[in-house]
Amino acid sequence: MGKNFIGLDTEKTAKLADSLNDLLANYQIFYMNVRGYHWNIKGNDFFELHVKFEELYDDLLLKIDEIAERVLTLGHRPAHAYSTYIERSEVPEKRDVSDGKEAMENIVDSFAKLIGKQRELLSLAGDAEDEGTVALMSDYISQQEKTVWMYRSYLGH
């Protein structure tokens, strides 16, 4: 059982890096969807949702960078081609969404996929004794659970 340069099992970190790249693909597609919602939103809630979507995509962009840097920290290469993101993402690409309710439903669904993947990563990282990835996933999950609650409240769920 070999160790990498930060003292973690190389087989386990390879599996973690692959899962992080899967998460990265989902984040990238989600990010572009939210950019589209921001650009194309119409209707009575335009001003509120236009700002809310910008806050969300700014946050997603920070997380995208953190995930890619975590892959590098584990000694692997982050995925960086949109063709890879499209292939790997379970968050579906959304086009031409201008309805606020539809956009918010898509966002809640996307967060559900991300949170599920992050819980799996939390377990893998714990097994690998990778505290850095554990902390990152734990932070994301706790932030996003609250965000989902607020977005679901907006939708009347």
User: Is-contact 37 53, C-beta < 8 A?
Assistant: yes
Task: Check residue 60 and give its pLDDT.
Answer: 98
Query: What's the pLDDT tens digit per position in 78-93?
Result: 999 999 999 999 999 9
What local confidence, expressed as pLDDT, does residue 71 receive?
Answer: 98
Residue 35 in domain? yes
Task: List, for residues 100-147, the tens digit of each pLDDT value.
Answer: 999 999 999 999 999 999 999 999 999 999 999 999 999 999 999 999
CATH number at residue 22: 1.20.1260.10
Alpha-carbon distance of 144 to 27, in angstroms, equals: 13
User: Looking at residues 42-56, what average pLDDT do you find?
Assistant: 97
Buried-state track 70-108, b at ≥16 Cβ within 10 A, e below 16:
bbebbebebbeeeeebeebbebeebeebeebeebbbbbb
Q: Is a pLDDT exceeding 80 seen at residue 1? A: no
Tokens for 152, please give them. Answer: 């679901």
Is 2 part of any domain?
Answer: no
User: What residue numbers bound the domain in which 28 lies?
Assistant: 10-155
Assigned domain for 3 exists: no
Classify residue 4: in a domain, yes or no: no
Q: Does any domain span residue 77? A: yes
Element (H, E) at 14: helix 10-40
In the prediction, which pLDDT does 7 show?
Answer: 85
* Per-residue H/E/C for 72-121: HHCCCCCCCCHHHHHHHCCCCCCCCCCEHHHHHHHHHHHHHHHHHHHHHH
In a domain? residue 1: no
Q: Is residue 144 part of a domain?
A: yes
pTM: 0.95
- What total number of domains does the chain contain? 1
Q: Is residue 113 part of a domain?
A: yes
